[in-house]
Structure 1
Amino acid sequence: MATKVVIKKNTYFDSVSLMSLTTKANQIEGIEQAFIAMGTKMNKEVLQNVGLMTAELEEAKNSDLMIVIKAATDDLAEQSYEAVEELFIKKDEAIGASDIKYPTIDSAAKSIPGANLAVISVNGAFAAREAKKALENDLHVMLFSDNVSVEEEIELKQMAHERGLFLMGPDCGTAIINNIGLCFANKVRKGSIGIVGASGTGSQEVSVRIHDFGGGITQLIGTGGRDLSEKVGGIMMLDGMKALNEDDATKVIVLISKPPAKSVEQKVLAEIKNMNKPVVVCFIGGSEEAVVAAGGHFAKTTKEAALKAVILSGVDESKIDKHPLNLPLIEEVKAKLTPEQKYIRGLFCGGTLCDESMYLAMEKYDDVYSNIPKDPEKRLINIQVSEAHTFIDFGDDEFTNGKPHPMIDPSTRIDRFKQEAKDPSVGVILMDFVLGYGSHEDPVGVMVPAIIEAKQLAEQEGRHLEIVGYVLGTDLDTPSVDEQLKKLVDAGVTYASSSTNAGLLARGFVEKGV
């Protein structure tokens, strides 16, 4: 086995680009393992854990680019490195050689007339500093970077609030501003519904369901997942609500989040009284009574949130295809499963999609576990080992620390899928596939070989393995949702028309008689 190491001094690439390049590099024939990242302490720890650390790499600085390639022979390693270099060339060509690159936010802000927003994706150690520079230049900020402290987040958001600016993030993965998708986002039609979301994939799901139901989006303002925590206090969600309330194009407002801190939820709901537009609230696991008392429109699920928003915006309800749940299919699948096949295993790229299916399962079953539960007693003892009904968010920090997000590189989820498919107590495996800017170019296609192999193995063992797949995307995305759905169906997967329906189907399939 041969390993080639190249360190490019003072060569910076943002984390999103490097995650994508690493994924593509690992698909090159001849490469056993490739790792492309900046020389940060965290990335060096990853190299140490996978057995690729060398003395040369130890000397790399934060500003240095590390390229590590493991192949069968020295010749293959060298050839593979040349192929990796081609990926960098193609990336530059895609950006455009004529594009001007600015060394600092200050110089960019001064040189680009009318610029009012900065997207920041740098190592977390430097992210707060760069975000502060952007705010000082009167730029709204989308802070994609994670590993920013809560204290820094509060300081930045208070600064943004005082300046009348948005600080979306940290760890904000989704936004649509003036019909332009930023980072992970889907292509949806323009319309009259505005979204403020403390959840990336939750916001994406609501936006694509609105599109599917015939509505459209004015703005999708991401806040970052911690915005509704006790410490941060919902600073950006409150500012987002006020901005959409003042926006003439926005007729309906949707709020989406995982379960917020109770005191912050109360603060957000109190603000609804100051709104002169309908506000639909989808806080997964939230209280209908509290939302209604505040004058809002309660939505238990993302599908319900989108449907209510579209109807409130003026779309004729009689013309909407609501995709009702296929009840005969539930009975058909239940009949195929043995009494021992009692459990759901949910393997998700999206945190809110995971939460939604998990909460739907918890309505029926007590033994539901996860790596992201609200109840600490329902947390998996070992995230690598499932218990009863298990729902895994592969986008959580425990799985992405130093690794690409599963929406970019699904390899970690594929390995876990193979493991779960062999468990004779599993009746249903539930998965999401997220399309859109920044995501894997063929999320279903890369999973199909493992799906076919798992179903064949189950059949050989005399059991039926039900796989439910949900594709989060629109007909305008590339690839389109229809193209991805065809691949699922051809592989023998049951597809769901929404995140909500996916969770309902899965829990129905494993329900046993009394």
Structure 2
Amino acid sequence: MAISSRSYPNLYKDSVSLMTVSARVTSIPGIEAASVVMASATNVDNLAQAGLGAFEIRPNDLIVAVSGSDQACDEALAVADTLLSASPPDSGEQQSAIPTTSIQMAVAADPALNLALISVPGDYAAAEAMKALRLGLDVMVFSDNVTADAELALKDYAQAHDLMVMGPDCGTAIINGIPLGFANVVRRGPIGVVGASGTGTQEVTVRIHQNGSGVSHALGTGGHDLAEAIGGISMLHGLAALDADPATSVIVLVSKPPSPAVAAKVLAAAQDSAKPVVVNFLGADPASITRDGVYGAASLAQAADMAVELAGGGQPTATEIAISAEMSRILGDLADAMAPGQRYVRGIFSGGTFCYEAQLIHRAHGITAQSNTPVAGNSALADLRTSQGHTILDMGDDEFTRGKPHPMIDPSQKDARIRAEIADPATAVVLFDVVLGYGSADDPTAELVSIIETSSAAARAEGRTVAFVGYVCGTDLDPQDRTKAVAALQSAGVLVASSNAEAALWSATLATARGGDR
């Protein structure tokens, strides 16, 4: 196996652009591994750990490193060179003779600017974000690997100057109808969302759209905002901003479990809001959240449903997700058709919040799973290369994406894992998500459908029936078209649920029928 690389001095590309180029390079037949990154200290260390070579730390330089056959490496570097040297699309406007090379220059050229999106290596993201804040801009920090001390410093400054920091590691936002990062195309409407989880925010916004309502704004906070060290500064700011926004009549708050002290602070602020607030703290008892003007939701889907009811002038009903008689029959037939050794759920997710919610629902049904991001009561998977027992994985977590594109951009690594799970004689259920929208792969189901069809046929030849349960997070307005994606999966025999929680419930029901943990 050959290892090849190329450096591009003083060439900067943002994180999403780098992941997109990496996905194209990785897809070349014969490439075993590929990484397209800025030469920051962290990235250089990651390249060395991945066995892709030793490089000097030169933060302004871009590195492409690949491994595979000689021919594939040559082709990959040529493709990367073409993509990285391509000129941006012509906007039709005359370009300034002096290029904009700093946030300060951009603000000087257009004083009306009020938001900066920071997407640079994490080692440098805090410094760039602080520059933007000092220029009076709200900030969305797409970058991750920012220290807790740096995050707190940014948010303390923002709080003192009535600004908002979305992030670090904020992957999703919709501001005035404009999607930022990984986001879906949803109609505008009266419901505002503040989310400490990217895919959690995506499910809430798409379900609001599917239920006929719309979204005023979706503000991200980053996943660490509700930790005790940060104190929920961004969620509290977002809540206050939506409370003052005349276009917003209902507010939804979404997060994985906050620290108890921060949860109390956020809920007190929600109760003081002039508008009804729906809260989904994943795993929390809705009764512990509910109070005057505040409505606890048991799932992401339920939070969206309750918000739509409130926006329509009604009172929300906390209807639990139930399995229809027809689906109960289908699940029973699948369980009966399986071979004796098929017992386990294998959940393969690109969305971290979806993975978390799926674990919680399986736990509630007595199914204990291993994971790379285990919830309370579950255990860490010792070897990420091989599933053991019930296994529910977040393939978008750092262990799987270090030096590789996120599975929402390039699902090939996730698809390969699904192929491996189908081949395991102990697998009863393959549970997965497909996330559509801006930033996601152009056709995230194409290779997956082929894998399911060929691998399930091989399993049947061995006397096994594998159940496939999926959830498609998206709308029919997304570039990939949710209706098309759902139809493609259903044609391959996948049971496609209307929400992540419903998919997890179907999976847990099948696992219970196969004996659960016994």
Fold shared, TM-score > 0.5 on shorter chain: yes
Q: Give secondary structure in 1 for the equivalent of 2:272.
A: coil
Residues 254-275 of structure 1: CA deviation (Å, up to 9, x unaligned): 0111111111111111112211
Report the more deviating stretch, 77-86 or 452-461.
77-86
Q: Distance in 1 between matches of 2:514 and 2:471?
A: 27
Change (3 A) 1:77 1:389: closer
Shift of 1:418: 2.4
Match of 1:399 in 2: 400
Partner of 2:83: 87
- Extract structure 1 runs of 4+ deviating beyond 4 A: 1-4, 29-33, 76-80, 94-101, 315-318
Which region of structure 1 is more displaced relative to structure 2, 377-386 or 349-358? Answer: 377-386
Q: Quote the Cα distance in structure 2 between the aligned partners of 1:491 and 1:412.
A: 20
Tell me the equivalent position of 1:443. Answer: 444
Q: Tell me the SS of whatever aligns to 1:308.
A: helix
* Alignment partners' CA distance in 2, 1:288 and 1:71: 51
Equivalent positions of 1:65-464 (< 5 A) are: 65-70=62-67, 72-73=69-70, 77-90=73-86, 92-93=88-89, 101-293=99-291, 295-314=293-312, 325=323, 326-375=327-376, 378-464=379-465
SS of the aligned residue for 1:7 comes to strand
Report what 1:51 is aligned to.
51
- CA gap of 1:296–1:99, structure 2 versus 1, over 3 A, is farther
Distance of 1:384 and 1:294 partners within structure 2: 48
Residue aligned with 2:501, SS = helix
Return the offset for 1:356: 1.2
1:467 is matched with 468
Contact 2:369–2:389 (CA under 8 A) maintained in structure 1: yes
Equivalent residue for 1:19? 19
Instruction: Structure 2: state its 5+ residue gaps.
Output: none
2-structure distance, mates of 1:60, 1:140:
30
Cα distance in 1, alignment partners of residues 2 and 397 from structure 2: 32
Question: Which runs of no fewer than 5 residues in structure 1 stay unpaired?
Answer: none
Seen in structure 2, the aligned counterparts of structure 1 residues 98 and 428 have a Cα distance that, compared at 3 Å, is farther
Contact 2:188/2:215 (CA < 8 Å) preserved in 1? Answer: yes
Q: Deviations over 1:263-300 (max 9, x none)?
A: 11111111122111111111111122221235411110
Q: Which amino acid aligns with 1:206?
A: V
**Cα distance per residue 1:362-410 (max 9 Å; x no partner):** 1111422222223276222333333322211112222223322211122
What CA distance in whole angstroms lies between the structure 2 residues aligned with 1:94 and 1:30?
34
Deviations 1:55-76 (A, max 9, x none): xxx23512111123456446x6
2 CA distance for matches of 1:34 and 1:272? 46
- Identify which range, 369-378 or 171-180, moves more after superposition: 369-378
8 Å CA contact 2:408, 2:440 repeated in 1: yes
Q: Which moved more, 1:165-174 or 1:367-376?
A: 367-376
Query: Where does residue 59 of structure 2 map in the other structure?
Result: 62
1:198-243 Cα deviation digits (max 9, x unpaired)? 0000000000000001110001010000011111111111111111
Over 3 Å counting, the alpha-carbon distance change for 1:197 and 1:329 in structure 2 is same
**CA offsets, 1:38-82, max 9 Å, x none?**
12233333333443315xxx23512111123456446x6545433
**Rounded Cα–Cα distance in structure 1 between residues aligned with 2:329 and 2:20:** 41
41-50 or 322-331: which moved more? 322-331
TM-fit CA distance, 1:493: 1.6
Task: Please state if 1:510 is matched with 2:506.
Answer: no
How big is the shift at 1:9?
1.0
Q: What CA distance in whole angstroms lies between the structure 2 residues aligned with 1:164 and 1:258? A: 25
Distance 1:20 1:96 in 2: 25
CA distances 1:390-449 after superposition (whole Å, capped 9, x unpaired): 211112222223322211122332232222222222210101011111111111113223
Q: Identity of aligned pairs, percent?
A: 42
SS of the equivalent of 1:127 reads helix
TM-score of the two chains, using structure 1 as the length reference: 0.92
How far the C-alpha of 1:33 sits from its partner, in A, is: 4.6
Shift in CA distance, 149/110, structure 1 to aligned 2, threshold 3 Å? same
1:107-154 per-position Cα deviation (integer Å, ceiling 9, x unaligned): 111112310000000011100000000000000000000000001111
Q: Determine the C-alpha separation between the residues in 2 that align with 1:29 and 1:419.
A: 19
